[in-house]
Amino acid sequence: MEATIITIMALLFLSFVALGVFVAVKVAKAAARGVDRTLNQARRTVEHTTLRAKSFGQAGVAGELARLRLSLRTSMRATQEALQAGVGEDASLKESLDLFHRLSAHGFELDAELKRLEREPDRAWVAGQLPELTARTERITGSADALRHAARDRALRFAEDDLSTLSAQIDVEADALRHWTGSETTPRTARAAGPATDTGVPDATATGDGWAKPAGPAGQAGPGAGGEPSAITAPDPRRTAHPWEKSARPETTT
């Protein structure tokens, strides 16, 4: 019995140790990936700032190469962010994202070539290559801009269509909520033109509004007419014909 307990305790201990090692490895890998992302982001930020400084602060071939690299990187980064942000909501952008990945290969190749030419000592030869490099940069950035603008136009169109549909549904709901506006006039008109008694006083039971008072004493129909008590009971002032109408205030007696 004691040997079994010792064996179980040993297995539990080894399981906890293995689990701890596994968790430690996962945490270390996640931390390493986080550090790599931070370093890459910092490196890109420094390089982007350096290119901006060169493009504005240097003239000639060096400044032109910096401007080309800055234009290329800015366009490609903006297009990548736009497509990656939209592909989660619009599956049709997946094909556009695949095309952008193919375009990125040409962009990386051109950026690496421009970066090598920055260290080229023969500036005259580099100046002769600038027209062709400029044309390649414009072709790549033009394609990237076309993808980005098309994705944004598509998102705006979908948003406009959704807003139009929502507005139409809200208009229908608003009309349904105001259903009394087309029906409250008819009952009131019917009550005003309803039949009257011989004495000229409207019959409360005929109108059905519950607001007419019994007739007064002698010569008029009242509680004692015909020897029968009146069957009309006083209306409840708290109850109204429609829930949106205010209840009538009770008259004060002197």
Predicted pLDDT at 112: 92
Neighbouring residues of 63: CB distance < 8 A, sequence distance ≥ 6? 54, 55, 57
Predicted pLDDT at 13: 82
Name residue 202's beta-bridge partners. Answer: 196
The structure tokens 């490895």 sit at 25
pLDDT in tens, 164-195: 999 999 999 998 998 886 555 555 555 555 55
Minimal CA–CA distance to 111: which of 82, 84, 140? 140
Q: Please, are residues 207 and 223 in contact by the beta-carbon 8 Å criterion?
A: no
Predicted pLDDT at 99: 93
Q: What's the Cα-to-Cα distance from 16 to each of 6, 21, 130, rounded to whole Å? A: 15, 9, 64
Cα separation, 178 vs 225, whole angstroms: 45
Q: Please, are residues 137 and 72 in contact by the beta-carbon 8 Å criterion?
A: yes
pTM: 0.55
Q: What are phi and psi of 232, to 5 degrees?
A: -85, 125
Q: Please, are residues 174 and 167 in contact by the beta-carbon 8 Å criterion?
A: no
Predicted pLDDT at 254: 42
Cα separation, 222 vs 214, whole angstroms: 6
Structure tokens at 8: 């179980």
DSSP state of 179: G
Q: Report CA torsion sign: 86, 87, 93, 99.
A: positive
Structure tokens at 21: 């090692």
Which residues of the chain carry a pLDDT beneath 70?
Answer: 181-254
Predicted pLDDT at 54: 73
The structure tokens 């807003």 sit at 163
Name residue 196's beta-bridge partners. Answer: 202
Structure tokens at 180: 């009394």
Q: What are phi and psi of 133, to 5 degrees?
A: -65, -40
pLDDT in tens, 78-89: 999 999 988 888
Backbone dihedral region of 23: left (phi > 0), alpha (psi from -120 to 50 degrees) or beta? alpha
Report helix, strand or coil for 37: helix
Report helix, strand or coil for 202: strand
- The DSSP element (H or E) to which 41 belongs, if any, is helix 2-57
